[in-house]
Amino acid sequence: MGTWHWDITGNRRYFDDQACYLLGIDPTTFTGDAEEVFAVLHPDDREIVRQALARTLERDVPYQTEYRAAWPDGSVHYIAARGKLVRDDEGRPVRLNGLIWDISERRHVEEELRKSRDDLELRVGERTAELSATVARLELVNAELREFAFVASHDLQEPLRKIQTFCDMAQKRCAPVLDSTSKDYLDRVIHSVSRMRQLLSDLLQFSRVASKPEPFEKIDLVKIVREAADVFEKTVKNAGALIAIESMPTIEADESQMLRLFQNLIGNALKFRSKEIPKVKVYGKRVGRGLCEIVIEDNGIGFDQQFAELIFKPFQRLHNRNEYEGTRMGLAICRKIVERHGGSVSAESEPGKGSIFIIRLPVKQDRWEGI
């Protein structure tokens, strides 16, 4: 550190050798003149020093500033200066005593950090813009795909209805004159049309999960699961099935989609039942961090755990179509519904030991509906 003081009365500056060295001044020729001191300051910083001195004199506050000193060899050094005003018995300022020290290393580090921060902000900004553009493109593509699926599945229903109608008419009017092979062919056509209509219906439901959502509202999951189970009243009665519905938390969700979610999962459990009396158990609890966990257990035929992800993909089946009817869209729709609510769904199973479906959902929905 170098020491200095300003004799305000005589308007002279006095610097020790270290202060002169820090400012790049030759102590043997230094006269203490104000202009001589200001001459070594960087032109852009001279006004900063003048204003700091003025504040000290006018407001009686400590002198405190930082500036650059331009050495005769052309190098620039950052200097920190601090000082304290001394007054005479009558309160008039007579002297300013102070210290200076070199802060070049600190300022260079700060400058590098600033440049790094600016560079990082620029890169983050560019990346964010790229991601925003990508998200916008994906949203557009997804919207177009949803619209296509909706229009395609809706518009294809009409010709299928006509095919089925004329096939039914042909079956009724021509049955007496058809041989067994022809009847078999006609039955296959009717059956295929029926499966195609069901497939299109499921595809339509799949596209509607995101394209025609209802607003989120507080719903009682127990009530929703009971309504879903009531749909299978006839199946439950015929099979002697037992559906146990235990306590579950109230959450914010799309009621119609939650109803469809549990209809698909309960229906799935009843469809893939074993030789035992079908048993389905549904329960849930809060698991912290604003989440709830809902579990659907059954004692059905189960499946190999290696297929735990495959079963949630559209049109994927683990069994022969002749064994179990269906389009294999049910679990795909379930995952679509859960993901639309910001949750996740997984399955655990072993062949012959039933299945467990685990759903995690936010208790409160504060997500943007476009996600």
* pLDDT tens figures, 296-336: 999 988 888 888 888 888 766 555 555 555 556 788 889 98
Identify residue 199 by its one-letter amino acid code.
Answer: L
Q: Is 240 left (phi over 0), alpha (psi -120 to 50) or beta?
A: left
DSSP string, 344-362: EEEEEE-TTS-EEEEEEEE
Sign of CA dihedral 208, 211, 215, 219: positive
Extract the tokens encoding 124: 């983050």
Q: Are residues 267 and 345 in the same domain?
A: yes
Q: Are residues 131 and 70 in the same domain?
A: no
Q: How would you class 102 by CB atoms within 10 Å of its CB: exposed for 0-12, middle for 13-18, buried for 19 or more? A: middle
Q: Are residues 235 and 186 in the same domain?
A: no
Is 368 a member of any domain? Answer: no
Report the distance separating Cα 25 and Cα 35, nearest Å. 13
Is 246 a member of any domain? Answer: yes
Give the CATH number of the domain where residue 24 resides. Answer: 3.30.450.20
Is 367 a member of any domain? Answer: no
Give the structural domain span for 22: 2-102
Extract the tokens encoding 308: 């735990």
DSSP string, 121-178: HHHHHHHHHHHHHHHHHHHHHHHHHHHHHHHHHHHHHHHHHHHHHHHHHHHHHHGGG-
Task: Give the ranges where the chain is alpha helix by DSSP (H).
Answer: 17-23, 34-39, 46-59, 104-174, 180-211, 221-230, 233-239, 255-271, 330-340
The last residue of one of the domains, among 68, 102, 136, is 102
Q: Are residues 96 and 136 in the same domain?
A: no
Q: Are residues 218 and 358 in the same domain?
A: yes
What dihedral angle (degrees, nearest 10) is formed by the CA atoms of 133, 139, 142, 147?
Answer: -130
| Contact criterion met (CB below 8 Å) for 249 and 292 | yes
Q: What is the mean pLDDT of residues 117-130?
A: 90
- Give the per-residue pLDDT at 371: 40
Is 344 a member of any domain? Answer: yes
Q: Is 325 left (phi over 0), alpha (psi -120 to 50) or beta?
A: beta
Q: How many domains does the chain have?
A: 3
- Give the per-residue pLDDT at 320: 53
Q: Are residues 224 and 323 in the same domain?
A: yes
22 pLDDT above the threshold of 60: yes
Q: Are residues 310 and 226 in the same domain?
A: yes
* pLDDT tens figures, 237-279: 988 999 999 999 999 998 888 998 999 899 988 888 888 899 9
Extract the tokens encoding 191: 């059956």
| Contact criterion met (CB below 8 Å) for 300 and 274 | yes
Is 107 a member of any domain? Answer: no
- Give the per-residue pLDDT at 213: 59
148 pLDDT above the threshold of 60: yes
Give the CATH number of the domain where residue 127 resides. Answer: 1.10.287.130
30-34, 66-70, 243-247, 328-332: segment of lowest average pLDDT = 328-332
Q: Are residues 248 and 347 in the same domain?
A: yes
- Give the per-residue pLDDT at 370: 41
Q: Are residues 304 and 225 in the same domain?
A: yes
Is 369 a member of any domain? Answer: no
What's this model's pTM, rounded to 2 decimal places? Answer: 0.51
Total number of residues shown for the chain: 371
Strands 291-298 and 250-253: unpaired
Is 350 a member of any domain? Answer: yes
Host H or E run for residue 8: none
Q: Are residues 96 and 196 in the same domain?
A: no
If one counts every other C-beta atom within 10 angstroms of the C-beta of residue 278, the result is 23
Report the distance separating Cα 364 and Cα 256, nearest Å. 17
| Contact criterion met (CB below 8 Å) for 178 and 189 | no
DSSP string, 266-282: HHHHHHT--SSPPEEEE
Q: Are residues 95 and 133 in the same domain?
A: no
Which pLDDT band holds residue 210 (cuts at 50, 70, 90)? low
* pLDDT tens figures, 76-117: 999 999 999 999 888 889 999 999 999 999 988 988 999 999
155 pLDDT above the threshold of 60: yes
Q: How would you class 333 by CB atoms within 10 Å of its CB: exposed for 0-12, middle for 13-18, buried for 19 or more? A: buried
The last residue of one of the domains, among 212, 243, 259, is 212
Extract the tokens encoding 289: 């961090």
Extract the tokens encoding 102: 């070199």
Is 371 a member of any domain? Answer: no
Arithmetic mean of pLDDT over the chain? 85
* pLDDT tens figures, 170-192: 888 887 888 888 888 888 888 88
The last residue of one of the domains, among 212, 237, 267, is 212
Host H or E run for residue 247: none
| Contact criterion met (CB below 8 Å) for 351 and 312 | no
Residue, of 66 and 198, whose pLDDT is higher: 66
Which pLDDT band holds residue 282 (cuts at 50, 70, 90)? very high
Extract the tokens encoding 86: 């001394």
Q: Are residues 239 and 120 in the same domain?
A: no
